[in-house]
Structure 1
Amino acid sequence: MTTPWGELALSRFPEDPRDRLRAWDASDEYLLRHLADEKVPLSGTVVVVGDRWGALATALAAHRPTQITDSYLTQEATRANLARNGVEPGAVDLLTTRDTPPARVDVLLVRVPKSLALLEDQLLRLAPAVHADTVVVGTGMVKDIHTSTLRLFERILGPTRTSLAERKARLVLCAPEPAPERADSPWPYSYDLPDGVGQVSGRPVVNHAGVFCADRLDIGTRFFLRHLPDTKGTRVVDLGCGNGVVGTAVALADPGAEVLFVDESFQAVASAEATYRANGAPGHAEFRVGDGLAGVPAGSVDLVLVNPPFHSHQATTDATAWRMFTGAKRALRPGGELWVIGNRHLGYHLKLRRLFGNSRLVASDPKFVVLSAVKR
């Protein structure tokens, strides 16, 4: 990536030579040009929120910024990109969206996330640290910045305007004003699940901001909950756990099961633990933020349950699903099973047959299929 301060070598994480997607886009470049052209003083506490693969934090490493992200993969990408460009590891303070933000923020740079709820939650958490002289600049592609985005900045921080678009990217320019009081964050949000979804029917589910389908049960998970396997005291992984409703259903149905909840989102794992605790589920549970099943001992798992995402930052791809499937095969013991819920058109049965040598249709409706594959 070309920046006003030189060239940077950047990559996504985990690095895959077959992946042609860049670790930055035009909105990252636009923001960095704006900072240089406007001679924005990058002094005091510089905070970068929502940096996708560490491009902004790496470019600004000389100013020792604080990066705040919901993504474990973003943190790992940032560490790798700092090392790749010869920057000392401590140059960037890596915080998650669950950590306490800095007490004072002098420059606030926001990569606008896809989730408006996550943006609201983070702006409300950072607002007490923002002062009248704080430089606030958001960035994103034009398709990601809406009237609702601008209203959110304005309601929480102060008067907001947008720049002209450049290469389909736009800036959000905000002049913060002191506020005598701000509304409390509506997150986390809790609701009771509907009937007809097995063990969790009518039970509470807790969602922190930014979690997939935080205000309702998505139809894919609803279908999956109706067709979960018997576990019988096994070690089960809720992979890509989201709010943890699937793993909690397993724990409620089988007190002897050991359930590992895994997601790369810090908000998701916090939601999963809150959902599990809210239901008083018996048995043993572990909650882990990480890169899929990396770090889980090979052959240590009896059952993996997964609803793979097929989008990665707007790009439609099966790369995440494939990594989940291969990670599951490594972690499963011989005879262990992977159960997958997915849209019919995604053709996951072909991937499972290629990887496991077998695939069984468990259940289907006009939109979804539940598939099982056994590690031989």
Structure 2
Amino acid sequence: MNRLITSWGETALTRFPEDPRDPLRAWDAADEYLLRHLADEGTDLSGSLVVLGDRWGALTVSLAAHGPVQLTDSYLGRRATSANLARNAGSAPGAPPVVLRSVRDEPPERIDVLLVRVPKSLALLEDQLHRLAPAIHADTVVIGTGMVNEIHTSTLRLFERLVGPTRTSLAVRKARLIFCTPDPALPRTPSPWPLRYALPDDIGAMSGRTVTNHSGVFCADRLDIGTRFFLGVLPAPEGPVDVVDLGCGNGVVGTAAAVASPGVSVTFVDESFSAVASARETYRDNVPGGDDRAAFLVGDGLADLPDDSADLVLCNPPFHSHRATTDTTARRMFTDARRVLRPGGELWVVGNRHLGYHVRLRRIFGDCETVAGHPKFVVLRAVAPASGGTGRSRTGTR
């Protein structure tokens, strides 16, 4: 646990889930720069305060006395904010409550101060500025913040086009602020998101089918090459099988399993609200009438699934946490998959070759095999040991 010291006091902050082995802090210089600017300028925070994209709650918790509304696409970010609010006693007595919403919820009707932590996804920023613009008025204070490698010319042009004239601050500790003056005369146009597109004709069960991508989903405007490779070698389970699409993104992998094997039930899981919304639409467009065979969960990986409840877990793990490269998420995904799989159940993973997932999988499962190779990617298969230790598959894929 680390402590952030600002003009609003000292705040104890952690990421979620808490992991003593994770050296990454729950805030950075961009959060500090914005909070310091608000204090130095004496910004009036008495009106409707909205915080967009707060990563682990540093901004929301520091400004809790002003009753901010937090909008985030991250379930883990929202859980971190909730835990950090509780850790720091939340709002002061008599202060307005802090409201935690997802970016898929209805936006506030009026915004007097909008603080934007610039997201990694320009598409997510575009979609949210479209959605929030009707609540912004001429006197709204709009300030963005991010590290210098997160703020590009395209970022500033987006604020200019959707909100109003925009300028940036000098860089301090590799962080920068964005100042935007709302222009009520700008036309309020609908968001172009979500996007829908047809898949190529050479990727197995999903060939030529349509997927839906809400903003912020990985490779939202195209099929990434790792997933394309994975789709070409996916197993086709026989009989009634419980499948989990872990880190589902737009749901194309889990939907492919349902299309190829009508007897399977699929649980789509992701920590992104937009991803799960995308997966739901992708599945329903391609498996009409199949809602009784699908579940859609926004959550912390497999934390909400019981032990021995799945026969097949399909996973394309992320190896970034915002800008940081880390295997923490993949490690937890593999460990949780081992718990959730029934004896003889299988975990199929696609990943970049250089990440060395086979080493981690052998430690957790006892062994793994390479199903398919690609110059950049590899597909690995690990089998949960049966009660007798044989590791015999339950899914009929081998």
Q: TM-score, normalised by structure 1?
A: 0.98
2-structure distance, mates of 1:282, 1:374: 32
Post-superposition offset of 1:180: 5.6
Q: Identify the residue that residue 133 of structure 1 maps to in structure 2.
A: 139
Aligned partner of residue 44 in structure 1, secondary structure: coil
CA distance in 2, matches of 1:78, 1:228: 37
> 1:344 Cα deviation (Å)?
1.0
Asked if the contact 2:169/2:178 (under 8 Å) is kept, the reply is: yes
Equivalent residue for 1:209, pick from 204, 212, 215 = 215
User: Structure 1 regions of 5+ residues with no counterpart?
Assistant: none
Task: Tell me which of 274, 286, 299 is aligned to 1:279.
Answer: 286
Residue 281 to residue 325, structure 1, CA distance change in 2 (3 Å): farther
Which of the numbers 277, 293, 308 marks the counterpart of 2:302?
A: 293
Structure 1 residue 20, shift from structure 2 partner: 1.1
Among candidates 28, 51, 54, match of residue 54 of structure 2: 51
Q: Given the superposition, is the C-alpha separation of residues 119 and 266 from structure 1 closer, same or farther in structure 2, using an over 3 Å criterion? A: same
Q: Is contact 1:248–1:281 with CA below 8 Å preserved after alignment?
A: no
Question: Which residue, out of 144, 152, 156, partners 2:150?
Answer: 144
Alpha-carbon offset, residue 301 of structure 1: 0.5
Spell out the pairing of 1:1-376 with structure 2 (5 A cutoff).
Answer: 1-88=4-91, 91-179=97-185, 181-232=187-238, 233-281=240-288, 283=290, 284-376=293-385
Q: CA deviation at 1:181?
A: 2.6
Q: Which amino acid aligns with 2:259?
A: L
Q: Which moved more, 1:257-266 or 1:225-234?
A: 225-234
**Is 1:255–1:282's contact at 8 Å kept on the other side of the alignment?**
no
Contact 2:164-2:186 within 8 A present in 1 as well: no
Q: State the SS of the aligned residue for 1:42.
A: coil
CA shift at 1:84, angstroms? 1.0
So what's the TM-score if we normalise by structure 2?
0.93
Q: Secondary structure of 1:9's partner?
A: strand
Cα deviation 1:3-29 (Å, max 9, x = unaligned) = 112111100000011111000000000
Kept in 2: contact 1:49–1:111 (CA 8 A):
yes
SS of 2:31's equivalent?
Answer: helix
Post-superposition offset of 1:124 = 0.5
Q: Deviations over 1:231-262 (max 9, x none)?
A: 12200000000000001101101111000000
CA RMSD of aligned residues (A): 1.1
In structure 1, what residue type is equivalent to 2:299?
Answer: G
Q: Which runs of 4+ in 1 moved over 4 A?
A: none
1:172 Cα shift? 0.3
C-alpha offsets along residues 129-148 of structure 1, whole Å, 9 cap, x if unaligned? Answer: 00001000000000100111
Report the residue type matching 2:69 in the other structure. Answer: T
Structure 2 alignment gaps of length 5 or more: 386-398
| Matched-pair identity in % | 70
